[in-house]
Amino acid sequence: MKRFIFVLAMVTTAIFVWSCSAQPIEQKPDVPKILTTLQDDINQAVKAVEPSLAYAEIGSGRNVSGMTGLVISSSGEILLPAYLKKDSYDRVEVWLNDTGYEASLVQSDERLRVSIMKIQVEAPLTPVNFANADAVQTGQFVLGAVNGGKSNDFKVLVDVGFVRGRNDDGDFDQIQCPGLTSNQGAVMLTLDGRVIAVQLRGAGTSEYSRSLPQNWVVSNEVQKGIDKLTAKAQPSTGPGSNEEKDKGKPWLGFGWAPINEDYAEMIGLPKKGIIVKYTVKNSPMEQAGIKEGDLIIEVDNKPLTKVGAKALESQFVKYLDPEVGKEANLKVLRGADVIPVKVKFAKKPESKEFRADDIGVAVQDITDVDYYERGLFIREGVIVDNILPGSPAGTISGRSYLINRDDVIIELNKTPIKNVDDFIKAVEAIRRDKVAIVLVKTSNGISTSFTALNLKGKK
């Protein structure tokens, strides 16, 4: 009996020891609970951002563009992903929930292709909450959100995606967020409802705006742009403040393009660089000694390294960080010599402008800047800067207007036009004589053409 009790005790001890040393049973993940938690996070993020996403419509004649806008201040300032000038639109309306407001222009930025508008509100608004985009990692889940506009009762529409990659500069390289990559003004959110990027779709004609990425722009860059625009809009507070307020567009006065890598390899030049195509007379670049054919390989001790023309352009503009009064230290390759050059951004020269609503055009003098930037072939005449849709000049003919932007008017109603003053005199004569049909001679490239505008039909 004692032996039996001893054996039983030994077996019991062995089982206890084995059970303690055995691997624990693997617990399966609670998938429904994980999905429910994710759903709750998405709902909370949408709830957090919904009051900060507006819907806006920009009207110009019969054309109307809709987009998502961002509330950036409690007092009614709205950021729109569009570059607006006072004569480029007829009206801007902003909706918050189902309440519409008329908006007025505060400031706009041609490089970022954004504008700050102001609406009059009685109660404080909820500004969008920006996050630091540098903290976002590859593989992180994100949300895309837009204001659905009139057709969706101004509700927020959401997609779930993730960051596929980031480039060396920290900008988002690839974002998988189906359905939202073409929505102007869409925002990308972290799961806690903070904005890390905005969809800006701009391809401007200025020497810096043309190279800005046309997809997601990180929140850090957007916030920096908002701060600059807000600073410009502040009232004068002391000596020099008026000058700061009216700084204008940053300008170096040169044309450029990424060097062709095959060409660079053939003649023994670096494959990563910006080649100077021309410099404008009396521009900052000409005064700094930059010449046609120079190759810019470094900006402020940061070498240009990107692969591909678009990426290289974007890196170059980012390193320059255009702003009136800012200095840039360039390293230029000229032949076999590497030359350091210091250049300072100046205010871009403005030409005289005139708007003739009865004809439907806004025109300006041709400056050296326009001659190079717009690829003109003549220096006399007035260049068409804007067309009023539905006007005599803005009448549709085929797939374009009768008169188009960048056309050069060289004759109006048989009167030669060399500058804006000539154009004004010709328009005054047309109004005085109540001319019904106006003959316009324009130059477009190396060819000229005549167009008859019917002013009688104008209301």
Between CA 311 and CA 258 the distance in angstroms is 10
Residue-wise burial string across 49-86, b where 16 or more C-beta atoms lie within 10 A, e elsewhere: bbebbbbbbbebeeeeebbbbbbbbeebbbbbbbbbee
Q: Assess contact for 333 and 297: CB atoms under 8 A.
A: yes
For CA atoms 364, 367, 373, 374, give the dihedral sign.
positive
Between CA 305 and CA 308 the distance in angstroms is 10
DSSP state, residue 439: E
Would you give the end-to-end CA distance of the chain in angstroms? 120
Q: Assess contact for 154 and 97: CB atoms under 8 A.
A: yes
| Predicted confidence pLDDT, tens digits, the chain (459 residues) | 444 444 344 444 444 444 555 555 566 666 678 788 878 888 898 899 999 999 999 987 777 888 999 999 999 999 998 888 877 788 899 999 889 999 999 988 877 778 999 999 989 999 999 988 877 777 888 888 999 998 899 999 988 887 776 665 555 545 555 555 567 888 888 888 889 888 876 444 445 554 444 567 777 778 888 887 887 776 544 444 444 444 677 889 998 889 888 888 888 888 899 999 999 888 999 999 999 999 999 999 999 988 778 778 878 888 888 888 999 999 999 988 999 999 999 988 888 889 998 999 999 998 888 888 777 888 899 999 888 878 899 888 776 789 988 899 999 999 999 999 999 999 999 999 999 999 999 998 778 999 999 988 644
How many CB atoms neighbour CB 166 within 10 A?
A: 18
The first and second tokens of residue 102, run together, are 């008329």
Q: Greatest CA separation found in the chain?
A: 134
Tokens 């439907």 found at: 360
Q: Assess contact for 343 and 284: CB atoms under 8 A.
A: yes
- The pTM (predicted TM-score) of the whole model is 0.63
DSSP state, residue 386: E
Q: What are residue 118's DSSP bridge partners? A: 77, 104
